Amino acid sequence: MLERCQHLSGDDRVQALWQASARSYAWAWQSHYCQEHDPSQILGELNLFRYRPVRGLLVRAEAATALVPLIQVVLAALTCEAPLTVSLSPDRDDWDWLADLSTVQVMVEDEASLIACLNAPMRSMTGCAHSGRCQLHYAGLSTRRASVWVDVPVLANGRLELRYYLREQAVSRRYTDMATS
């Protein structure tokens, strides 16, 4: 994926950012998120923390400057194996590089259609045209459509960025429970 995207920008700094992001995402995944942890180490108990991909993530991309963070989001989702849907504005037609990714679903739709289908955690690309800096918004939507919005830029730091693509699970058992089961 990273090799496929390198030709999309002639800017060496952007290419270096994508490479650093991919390395950091892979390192965070391998060293932390794909492993079960027992940080409490309580004698007689097993308290595991583990991470599972979110059930679906929706990304909205509209502005021309959204390419840089969008590629970071795709790299992060692929690293975590989180199902990703990319919602593209109908006025854009330069997203062919996304079509070949089997784990990424691409939809071309207007904003009204997007709002009608909001039933997955969402990151939307906004703020690019006005502030000159792209930010992604994340909404964790439950079945009751409650949402939590986190207004942060996409980060190249995998330990921080990948948390939006994963669910933390805690599994606790006492050793006496394990001996009887």
Sorting pLDDT into bands at 50, 70 and 90, what band is 125? low
- pTM for the predicted model, two decimal places: 0.78
Percent of the chain clearing pLDDT 70 (strictly above): 75
- What is the arithmetic mean of pLDDT over 117-144? 47
pLDDT over threshold 60, residue 140: no
Asked if 168 and 162 count as a contact pair (C-beta separation under 8 A), the reply is no
Look up residue 57 and give its amino acid. L
Sorting pLDDT into bands at 50, 70 and 90, what band is 16? very high
Q: How far apart are CA 92 and CA 14, in angstroms?
A: 21
In this predicted model, what pLDDT tens digit does every residue of 40-73 receive, in sequence order?
A: 888 888 889 899 998 878 888 876 668 889 899 9
Q: Which of 10-24, 58-72, 117-131 has the highest mean predicted lDDT (pLDDT)? A: 10-24
Asked if 106 and 95 count as a contact pair (C-beta separation under 8 A), the reply is yes
- Nearest 5°: phi and psi at 168? -90, 135
Determine the pLDDT at residue 51: 94
Asked if 157 and 26 count as a contact pair (C-beta separation under 8 A), the reply is no
Determine which of 1-10, 23-32, 36-45 has the lowest per-residue pLDDT on average. 1-10
